[in-house]
Amino acid sequence: MEKDSKPNVLFIAVDDLNNMISPIDNFSNIKTPNFDRLADMGVTFTDAHVQAPLCGPSRASIMTGLRPSTTGIYGMTPDDSIRRPGNEATKDITFLPEYFKNNDYHTIGIGKLFHIHAPNNVFNESGGRVKGFGPYPEERFVWDGFGKGIKGKHGRTSTDWGAFPENDTLMPDHESVNWVVERLNRNYDKPFFIGLGFLRVHVPLYVPQKWFDLYPLESIKTPPYKSDDLNDIPPVGMKINDLPMMPSTEWAIESGEWKKIVQAYLACISYVDYELGRVLDALESSKYADNTIVVLWSDHGYRLGEKGTFAKHALWETATSAPLMFAGPNLPKGKQIDAPVEMLSIYPTLLELANLPAYDRNEGKSLVSMIQKGESIKEAKAITTFGMNNHTVKVDGYRYIQYEDGTEEFYDHSNDPNEWKNEAKNPKYRSQIEQMKALLPKVNVKWDEKSSYTFQPYFIEQKARVNGEEDKPVKVIGADR
């Protein structure tokens, strides 16, 4: 392509991917050569954080460029209801792919990008998304999906693990990659924006046996866990962490399943790594190799026994942190940045890298100056919100959490990286806490009418309470989407 042409964009989302990949935590001898390959091609942020530890609101935040506390999208929201007349913040918002479309890009998308796939007409060309997170065996291997939840009230999860199906070609993500590879081999008369949304590593943790074979059970490490860890957590934090349909760590220990769950999660990561490699191969062999920005991100972390459960759904480190990687023209290669940053920055960063005008509605800050010049690292921060008025702030080495009733948590990562000791009442940290408290969002709107999370008891109650809907019947929405 001509020197003055706009760069293309390859926008890759990986569902439920935590920082275990080798370029970041390198957990338990994990094998992710293509994540390493992408890291060598560009820049890896090792301390990136989502704006909500739940897929729907996290993805809505990335795609709108707005915080959940600004939009009221705290739970799951139908893709076509994110932007609507009833939401003052989003009624005329331009979604991230649309901004490129409006600036003469050919936009293409497949898989899970928004909560389901995408609102109507966001992409010039859509490959849609396979429903659910299959393929599924005829019978679940381990977990019944309900746990101690109340059927008809809390919905059902896809949480289960095991070797299935027989080969990679039966995985929906494989078909999505085939679709993207074919499009990377086409000719275009304008720059393109291609969005690819992987369904794995989302549960059920099913991938073919060969990926399990990479991780013999005897070699598996389990994440740090302390049985009395939650003794100093405020009541609201405990309500948020009440996840009746998820396996508990104590259950996993007693049943002997803990290492098997971790094995399955690592197997799923290595499977996604393989599919990522197929995309990178296609890009590198295409005519677009030297003029394409690649961004890879996940919508939240995932706990594998930390803090007592197997889930995202929390304001602690292992739920809010997730991979963020950029590569492309004019970016350094093999660079690692350890400052805390936000997924909210993806939108403005891509616009600056593509030499497009800034979008004045974006609440995130571009990371280009940090990437290229090392600017703003000392002032870097990341804010995550879970439900109305529950926030956490991460600055270098510290995490502060404030719940809706004003109760607090504070952790010093220099001596407590696992966030086991709540230091909120320790006078030693009062000045640091006050500084971080000042960074909390000043705007905290009520729940958007179309947003809900009936999978978790606390959020059913909170939305009804703050929106005055106590008498309104609740429509159960499970986690399988």
Q: Is 302 within a domain?
A: yes
DSSP state of 139: S
**Structure tokens given for 368:** 């280009």
Q: For position 135, what pLDDT does the model report?
A: 94
Q: For position 454, what pLDDT does the model report?
A: 84
Q: For position 2, what pLDDT does the model report?
A: 40
Q: Is 400 within a domain?
A: no
Q: Is 61 within a domain?
A: yes
- Helix and strand totals (H; E) in the chain: 14, 18
Q: For position 473, what pLDDT does the model report?
A: 58
Whole-angstrom Cα distance, residue 372 to residue 209?
A: 42
447's CB contacts (< 8 A; 6+ apart) are: 72, 74, 75, 388, 462, 463, 466, 467
Q: For position 472, what pLDDT does the model report?
A: 65
The 10 Å CB-count burial string (b at 16+, else e) for 66-85 is bbbbbbbbbbbbebebbbee
Q: Which of 37, 93, 184, 99 is nearest to 355 (CA)?
A: 99
Residues involved in catalysis? 55, 115
Whole-angstrom Cα distance, residue 303 to residue 305?
A: 6
Q: For position 455, what pLDDT does the model report?
A: 80
Chain centre to alpha carbon of residue 142: 25
What's the burial of 449, exposed, middle or buried (CB within 10 Å: 0-12/13-18/19+)? middle
Q: For position 245, what pLDDT does the model report?
A: 87
Q: What are phi and psi of 438, to 5 degrees?
A: -65, -15
What's the burial of 286, exposed, middle or buried (CB within 10 Å: 0-12/13-18/19+)? middle
The number of folded domains in the chain is: 1
E strand residue ranges, 210-288:
none
Q: For position 398, what pLDDT does the model report?
A: 98
Q: Is 255 within a domain?
A: yes
Q: Is 177 within a domain?
A: yes
**pLDDT tens by residue, the chain, 481 residues:** 344 479 999 999 999 999 999 999 999 989 999 999 999 999 999 999 999 999 999 999 999 999 999 999 999 999 999 999 999 999 999 999 999 999 999 999 999 999 999 999 999 999 999 999 999 999 989 988 878 776 666 677 889 999 999 999 999 999 999 999 999 999 999 999 999 999 999 999 999 999 999 999 999 999 999 999 999 999 999 999 999 889 999 999 999 999 999 999 999 999 999 999 999 999 999 999 999 999 999 999 999 999 999 999 999 999 999 999 999 999 999 999 999 999 999 999 999 999 999 999 999 999 999 999 999 898 999 999 999 999 999 998 999 999 999 999 999 999 999 999 999 999 999 999 999 999 999 999 999 999 999 888 899 999 999 998 766 655 544 554 5
Q: Is 422 within a domain?
A: no
Q: Is 132 within a domain?
A: yes
Neighbours of 64 (CB within 10 A): 27
Q: For position 5, what pLDDT does the model report?
A: 75
The CATH number of residue 202's host domain is 3.40.720.10
Q: Is 460 within a domain?
A: no
Q: Is beta strand 391-395 parallel, antiparallel or unpaired with respect to 398-402?
A: antiparallel
Describe the strand order of the beta sheet including 398-402 as a list of residue ranges.
Answer: 382-385, 391-395, 398-402, 408-412
Range of 267's domain? 8-380
